[in-house]
Structure 1
Amino acid sequence: MKQIVLSILFISITSIIYAQNSKLQGTVTDADNGQPIPFANIYLPQLEKGTNTDENGTYVLENVPKGNYKIVVSTIGYKTFSQAISVDNNSTHNWTLQPSAIEMDEVIVSTPFHKLQSENVMKVERQSLEQLKTKGAMTLSDGITNISGVESVTTGVGIGKPVIRGLSSNRVLVYTQGIRLENQQFGGEHGLGINQAGIESVEVIKGPASLLYGSDALGGVLYLNPEKYAQQNKTDGDANINYFTNTNGVTANAGFKASGDKIKFLVRGAYGSHADYEAGNGIYTTNSRFNEYDIKSGFGYQDSKFKTDVRYNYNRSNLGIPEEIGVQNRDRDLLLPYQEIDNHIISAKNTLFFNNSSLDVTLGYIANNRREYEDHHHHEEDEHEHAEEGEEHEHGDEAALDMRLHTLSYNVLYHIPKMGNFETIIGVQGMHQTNENFGEEMLIPDATTVDFGVMATTHYHMEKSDIQLGLRYDTRTIDGKETGEVGGESYFPEFDKNFNSFNASAGYRATIAEKIIARINFATGFRAPNLAELASNGNHSGANRFEIGNVDLTNEQNFQTDVSLEYENKHFEFFINGFYNAISDYIYLEPTGDEIDGQPVYQYVQNDSRLYGGEVGFHLHPHPFDWLHFESSFETVTGKLDDTDEYLPLIPANKLTNTFRVEMKDGALTKKYAFLTLQNVFNQNNVGTFETRTGGYSLVNIGLGATINPWNQPLSIKLTANNLLDKEYISHLSRLKPDGIYNIGRNINIGLSVPF
C-alpha cells in the first residue's frame, strides 16, 4: 500500500507541468449601507488559500485552480457568509455581509466537507488558540478544558490528556498536522506531547468518529490545526513571551513566515520552563517541574492543479513525575522519577485538482522516544533520608524505560464529482507502527501494529436541511514479539491478534424558522485493544500501580446518539446538546488485591457500559451594548457498567461556568477586552468502586488585555489571574488525588505579543 500511495503522489506532482493560472477578484460591502468593508477575510477552505480586502473593500486572489469551490467571507462585526462558486480564467465575485454582533462562524477542517460550523451535520466545537490563550492556560491540555464537554486527566500541571464526555486515553484520537498523533498515549502519565505554539485552532468532535478516522476515535477527536501560512505575497512575523507567577514559569516563542505566488514557508521556535507548582495550601508539589523545547516548520507549494504542504515538528519534553510531597524549593532540575520525551512529526498533505474533482494524499511519519529515569534504590533508608533533607537523587545515564515508537500513516481521499446535490468522498487509510524496548525495564513488548481501513461518506444538501451518511470497514493486526528472558521479571510471550469492524453513521441537520438549527446523529464506533491493554507487565510510576494486560480482550464497539438544538439571533445564542453512548466490551483496569514490589496490581478486564449526559448554555450580548457579553454553560456526564450498575472511574464532575466579558474595538488594530469567570465544579459522588468521592469547589478567574498601536507598531498585552482566591481543591481527574495532593493555587499570567 505504501508503494501505491507514493506512486499516486509522484503522478500528481508531475501533472503540474502543464497547469494554467486563474484569478479570483471582487469587492465586499456592507449590506445595510453599501459601504466597502476593509480587511475582510476571503478564504477557500479546500485550497487552504485566502486573502484580505484592502481599504476599498476589494480583493484579488491569484493562482486559483479552475473548478468549483466553497468561498467563505468573514470579518468581526458581520455574519460569516459562504457559497459555492465556479472559478474560471478570470472570475469576479462581489459579496455583501450582514452586520451582526455574534462571533464569526468558522470553517470546520476535521470533517471532510469543510462546512461552516452552522452548516455542519455533525456537531463540532471549535476554539482558536488566541481565544484559549486569553484564559491564561499554561499548556495546551489545560487550555482545551475551556471547551464545553472537554476535560483533562492530569498528573500535576505538565502532564495532561484530553477527556471528551467521560472518555479518554486511546478512546480519544488526537490529530496534528493532518495526521494521527502516536506517542505511547496509553499510559495515564503520558501527556498530550504537543506545544501550543504554532497551533492556530482546536476542533473537538464529541462523539464516535471511527467512520472518519478508524480505531481509537470511538470517544471523539481532538483536531489541532497548525498555523496558516502568510497570505499571498506577504511576510509576517511575531514574538511572544509569558510569565506565570505560580511556577515561576516562562514560555517564549517566535515565528516568521512568507508567501509568494506559488511558494510559501514558515518556522517557529518555542521554549518553556516551570518550577514546582504551589497549591492553595502554600505547599509546593515536589517534582511537578517541567521544561520543553519545540520547533515547527512548513513548506508549501501551490499551482493551478496541485498543492502540497510539508510540515515538520520537533518537540523535547522533560517532565518530572510527582509522587509525594518532599523537597520544597524553586529549582528547575528534575528529580527522580522523570521522563525525557522526543517527538519528530513529519507530514505531507497533497492535493491534485481535476476539472470537477480532487484527490487528497496525506502521508505522515512520527518517531517517538520515551525515556523514564528512576531511582532503583529509592526505598533504601539512607537515600530516603537525603530526600527528606532536600538533596536531589544521583542517577546514571541509563534510562530504566526506553521505548521507541515509529509510525507511518497514510490517508487517501477522492472527492467524487458532484452529482446533483450529492457530495461524496471515498478513501483508504492505514498505519504501520513498530514499538521497541531499549531500557532495562519494560512495560510492553516489542510489537508491530498494522491498520487498514476503507470508507465512503456522502453529503446531500437541500435548501434548509442536509443529510450525511457513511460506511467504513477496518482491520488491525498486532504482532507481539517474544521479549525479555523466560522467567524474568519482564517477560512477554509471543502473540498475534487480529481485529476488524464495520461501522456506519447517519446524520440530519435542519434549519427551523431561520433562527433554529436542529441536528440528530447516529453513529457506531470501535476501538481495538491497544498493546498495553493486551500485554502490559510492569510498574507505572505516574499511576503508582503494577499493570497486567489481558491477551483475550476483544474490540470495544459502541453506538451513540447525539441530538442538538441551537437558536441564534443578532444578540442572543442558545444551545443544548444531549448524547447516549452504549459501549460493548468496555475495557478498564480492576485491582486484583495483590501487590508486586509494594505496588497494587491492576489487570485489564471488560464489561458492557453506557455513558449519557450533555451540555447546555447561552450567550447574551444585548443591544445596544454589543461590547458586553454574558456566557453561561453547564455540562454533565454519567458513566455506568451495565452488569453491576456501578459507576465508571475517571468521569468528570458536573460543571457550571459563567463569564462576563467586555470587548471593545477602535479601528482595525486597537482592541480591548476584560472578563470575569466563576467556575462551579460540583461534588462527584458517582465514583467507581475503587475511587473515592471528590468535593466540589468554585474558582474565580479574571483577565484583561489590549491590542494597541503605538508608533504604528501593534502590541498585545494581557494579564490573567486563575484561581484568584487561591482555593484549596482537588480535581476528580487528578492522578495525584489518591496521595491527597492539591491542584494548582493562584496563578497570574502576564503576556506580551509583538507582530512584525
Structure 2
Amino acid sequence: MKRIMPLALAVASAQAAVAEQLPMEHVLVSVPLHKQTAETALPITVLSGDALSRAAAATIGDTLNNAPGLANASFGPGVGQPVIRGQQGPRVTVLQNGTSSADASSLSADHAVSVEALLADSIEILRGPSTLLYGGGAIGGVVNVVDNRIPTRRIDGVEGGAEYRHDAASDMDTTVGRLEGGSGDFAFHLDGLYRDWNDLEIPGEAASEHAHEDHDHEEGEAAEEETTDGYVANTGGRTRSVTAGASYHFDDSFIGLAVNRLENNYGIPAGAHEHHDDEGEDLDDHDEGEEEHGHEEGGVRIDMTQTRYDLALHLHEPLPGLEVARGFVSYTDYEHREIEPGGEVGTRYNSDSWEGRLELVHQPLADFHGVLGLQAKSREFSALGEEAFIPVTDSRDIGLFLLEDYHLGEVTFEGGLRLDRDERDPSGIAESRDFNSVSASVSGLWDVSDQWQLGLSLSRAERAPAIEELYSNVENNGSEDWIAHAATNSIEIGNPDLDTEVSNNADLSLRWDSGTHFVSVTLFYNDFSDYIDLQNSGLEVDDMPVMVYGQQDATFRGIEVDSSFTLASLAGGEFVLRVFGDATRGELANGDDVPRLPPMRVGSRLGWDTGALEVWGQVLEAAEQDRPGVNEEATDGYTRWDAGVDYRLGLGDGQLTVFAALNNLTDEEIRLSTSFLRDVAPEAGRSVEAGVRYNF
C-alpha cells in the first residue's frame, strides 16, 4: 500500500473531522436505495468515523446516549438498551447489518443487546416513517449496527487495525482487532474482541434517598446496611466475541457468509434481583468464579452465549428493469442462564431464530425509483426455571414492503407501504393469536435553497403485541403460582386479548448547511391508539405490585436539535462548536405520565482540531425528570463535564491514534430516569479512559 505522509494524513484527517461535524454525505445502508442523509426527509441519525470511535462503549445504549432523541436504559455497566424518543424494549428493533440481533433484550430490561459498537463501521438510527422497512416491532425506532463481516468490496492486499482501551471507572480493559484482505475476487474478514471489567465505581452510595426511604419504611431498619459506598456491587463481567467472514465477487455482484460467536458474562447490580432460595439446576460447568473478576459473593449473574450465521447475496442488474437485488439470511442460536449466588441456574432462556430478507431495487420508472421487499422471521423462545413466567412460544412473522421516491423540481417525495402477518403460538393452555397490520408513510423534502431544506414526514405504524405482553403468567393459576419478574421487582400479568398498537406520526424538520455551519431542528408528534403499557392493578403479592398489561391511547411529542459551527482557525487548527439538545413528553389517555422517559437535555462540545491533534471538552445539562409516571419517583437533574485529547500520526502504512478522556470531571451523581435501577445503580463517577488505536 502507498505510504501515507504526515502532511497528507493531517489534511485528510482535517477534512474527515469537518465531515464528522457536518455528517451530510454518509450513504445510508439501512435505506435500500442507498441515499445520502441530505437526500431524505426521513428522520435518521448516523454515527461513524472518529465520532463513533469516541462514543463507542461497552453497550449500545451507552454508545448512543449523547445523540439528540436517543438515550440509554442502563441496567448496570453490562446492560444498556437504546431508548428512541422515549420508546424502548419491544418498540425498538436492534439490527446487525439489516437483520434482527435476535437476542432476549426486548423481553426484559436486564438482558444485554448482542451487538458490539466497537466492531461497527457505522451505526444508523431510523425513526418515524423509515422504520416501516423493518416491521411493526420497530414502531419506536431502529438501530442498525453496520460492519463488514461479509466484505462488500474487493480487497487487494491486507488491511485492518487493533485497539486497546482502559476505563478506570470499572477497571475495564478492552482489546479489539480486525483483519481484512483478499486477492482477485475473494475477500475475507476476521475480528475479535475481549473485554474484562470489575465493579463500577460511583460517587457516594449506590442506593438513592428514595431507596433508603422505601427500605426504612418497609423494613424498619437502617438502609445503609443494604447498599454499598463508592461502588455498585456485582457489576463486573467479561465479554468475548470472534467473527469470521468471506465473500466472492463477480462482475459488480458478490455472495458471502459470516459466523460470529459471542460470550457475555455479567453481574446484575445489587438490589435488582431478589430471588428466593428455590432449588435450581446445578451448574457443573460454571467456572467463571467470583474471584476471577474480583466480584463479591452474592447477586445474580447472566451467562450468555450466541452463535450467529449470516449469508448475503448482492446481484447487480440481475434482470431487465432491476437495478439491484439483495438477499440476506441469518440464523441465530441464543442462550443465556441466570446464575444464582449459590452457583445453580435459576432460569435458562433459549431462542432459535431464522430471518430472511429480500430487496429488489427497480430502475427509474416514469420518474419513480424504489424498492420492493419481503421479510420473514421464525423464532422459538423458551424460558425454563425459577423466573419462567413466559411459556414456550413459536413466533412467525412475514412482511411485504414497498418504498418509492419521486422528484418534482426542488421537491423529493417519498412514500412507503408495508403489510405484516404475525403469528404467536404458545405451548400449554394459552391461545394462539394472529395479527394482520398495515403501515404506511409519505414524506416530502423541499430544497428551499442551496443551504436550506424543509422536510415533512407523516406515517401510520402498526405493531403486534410481543409475547411477554400477551402471555406473561397467563398459564399460572392465581397469586400463589404467579412468578415474579425480578428485573422490574413486580409480578407481570399478560393479556392474551391485546389488539395491535397503532401510532400516527408527524415529523417536521428544518436544516441549514452552509458548508462550515450546520443546524438541524426536528419536531415530532406520535398519537398512539391502543398503546400497550403495564398498569398497576393495586394488588400486591409478597410486597410486590401486580402489574397487568393493558391498552389505552397515548401521545408523545418532542424536539431534537443538533448543530455545528466552525468558529475560527488558529494555530493550524479549527475551533468547532457543537450544540445539541432534546426533550420528550409522553402522556397516557387517563392523564398519567409515561414512566421512564428521558429528561430535557442540552449539551455543547468545543473542539480544536489540526488533523493530527484534537482537544475537546463537552458539557451535558439534564433537567430533573419531574414527570416520572404512576408509582415512580422523580429523578434529579445533573450536569456532566467531559474532556479529551486525540493525537494521530502516520506510522508505516497506517495511522496511529492515541486518545484519552476525563469523564464526569466533577464526580456528579448521575441517575438515569430511563433505568429501572436508577435508585440502586447510578452511573460511573469521575474516571479516566485512555487507549491506543492503529489502522493500516
Match of 1:203 in 2: 124
CA–CA distance in structure 2, aligned partners of residues 285 and 472 of structure 1 = 45
Kindly state the Cα deviation for residue 151 of structure 1 after the two structures are TM-superposed: 0.3
Report matched runs for 1:87-98 at 5 Å. none
Q: Who is 1:433 aligned against?
A: 379
Q: Which residue of 2 aligns with 1:596?
A: 541
Deviation at 1:77, TM superposition (A): 6.0
1:512 lines up with 2:453 in the alignment = no
Q: Contact 1:427 / 1:455 at 8 angstroms: preserved in 2?
A: yes
Shift in Å, 1:576? 0.6
Amino acid in structure 2 at the alignment position of 1:183: D
- Aligned residues of 2:83 and 2:92 also touching (Cα < 8 A): yes
Q: 1:437 to 1:575 in 2, by over 3 A?
A: closer
Q: Which residue of 1 aligns with 2:584?
A: 637
Q: CA deviation at 1:136?
A: 6.9
- The amino acid that maps onto 1:476 is D
Distance 1:242 1:99 in 2: 25
- 1:412-459 CA-to-partner distances (Å, cap 9, x unmatched) read 122223214211211211111111344354121011111111121211
Counterpart code for 1:254 = G
**In structure 1, C-alpha distance between the alignment counterparts of 2:16 and 2:82, rounded to whole Å:** 31
Distance 1:367 1:328, change over 3 A: closer
CA distance in 2, matches of 1:124, 1:430: 24
Aligned-partner Cα distance in 1 for 2:672–2:299: 24
**Which residue is equivalent to 1:582?**
527
Q: Which residue is equivalent to 2:668? A: 727
Correspondence list, 1:392-411, <5 A: 393-396=341-344, 399-411=345-357
Does the residue aligned with 2:675 lie in a helix, a strand or coil? coil
1:335 Cα offset (Å): 4.0
Partner of 2:687: 747
Q: Which residue of 1 aligns with 2:220?
A: none
Shift of 1:130: 3.6
Describe the shift of the 1:356–1:648 C-alpha distance in structure 2 as closer, same or farther (beyond 3 A). same
Deviation, 1:708, is: 1.6
CA contact under 8 A between 1:407 and 1:433: conserved in structure 2?
Answer: yes
Match of 1:219 in 2: 140
Pick one of 276, 282, 287 that aligns with 2:199.
276
Instruction: String of CA shifts for 1:196-240, please: whole Å, max 9, x gaps.
Output: 232111111122545211121101110111137476313113221
AA partner of residue 614 (structure 2): Y
- Aligned counterparts, 1:440-451, within 5 A: 441-451=387-397
1:116 equivalent in alignment to 2:36: yes
* Cα 1:136/1:304, change in 2 over 3 Å: closer
Task: State the one-letter code of the partner of 1:200.
Answer: D
* Bigger mean CA deviation after superposition, 648-657 or 460-469: 460-469
Contact 1:510–1:519 (Cα < 8 Å) also in 2: yes
Structure 1 residues 334, 162: CA separation in 2 closer, same or farther (over 3 Å shift)? farther
Does residue 531 of structure 2 align to residue 610 of structure 1? no
> Is 1:163 aligned to residue 83 of structure 2?
yes
Show the counterpart of 1:692.
633
* One-letter amino acid matched to 1:549: G
Give the residue type in structure 1 aligned to 2:364: K
Alpha-carbon distance change, 318 to 165 in structure 1, aligned in 2, over 3 angstroms:
same
C-alpha offsets along residues 261-299 of structure 1, whole Å, 9 cap, x if unaligned? 211111111111111101112521111112111112221
Deviates more, 1:602-611 or 1:625-634: 625-634
Distance (whole Å) between structure 2 residues aligned to residue 460 and residue 53 of structure 1? 43
Q: How does 1:545-560 map to 2 (within 5 A)?
A: 545-560=490-505
- 1:522 is the counterpart of 2:458: yes
- CA-based RMSD of the aligned residues comes to 2.9
Per the normalisation by structure 1, the TM-score is 0.79
Task: State the SS of the aligned residue for 2:692.
Answer: strand
Q: CA deviation at 1:619?
A: 1.0
Unaligned runs of 5+ in 2: 205-228, 275-289, 474-482
> Is the contact between residue 473 and residue 502 of structure 1 (CA under 8 Å) also seen in structure 2?
yes
**Higher RCO (Cα < 8 Å, 6 or more apart):** 2
* Residue 248 of structure 2 corresponds to residue 301 of structure 1: yes
Task: State which structure, 1 or 2, has the greater radius of gyration over its C-alpha atoms.
Answer: 1
The alignment's TM-score, normalised by the length of structure 2, stands at 0.86
- Corresponding residue for 1:246? 169
1:367 aligns with 2:333: yes
The answer to whether the 8 Å contact 1:522/1:560 transfers is yes
Task: Tell whether the 8 Å contact from 1:511 to 1:517 is kept in structure 2 after alignment.
Answer: yes
Are residue 503 (structure 1) and residue 439 (structure 2) matched? yes
Aligned equivalents of 2:293, 2:20: Cα separation in 1: 49
Q: Does the 8 Å CA contact 2:569/2:575 hold for their aligned counterparts?
A: no
Query: Conserved in 2, the CA contact under 8 Å of 1:451 and 1:474?
Result: yes
Aligned mates of 2:56, 2:361 — CA distance in 1: 40
- Conserved? CA contact 1:466–1:510, under 8 Å: yes
Counterpart among 316, 320, 324 of residue 353 in structure 1 = 316
Structure 2 CA distance for aligned equivalents of residues 704 and 99 of structure 1: 19
**Matched residue of 2:308: which SS?**
strand
Question: Displacement, 1:248?
Answer: 1.1
In structure 2, C-alpha distance between the alignment counterparts of 1:710 and 1:441, rounded to whole Å: 53
Aligned to 1:174: 94
| Farther off after superposition, 155-164 or 223-232 | 223-232
Cα displacement string for residues 521-569 of structure 1 (whole angstroms, at most 9, x for unaligned residues)? 1111121111111111232222222222111111111110001000011
Q: Is the 8 A contact 1:217 1:526 kept in 2?
A: no
Q: Say which SS state the counterpart of residue 662 (structure 1) adopts.
A: strand
Corresponding position of 1:494: 430
User: Separation in 2 of the partners of 1:368 and 1:269?
Assistant: 19
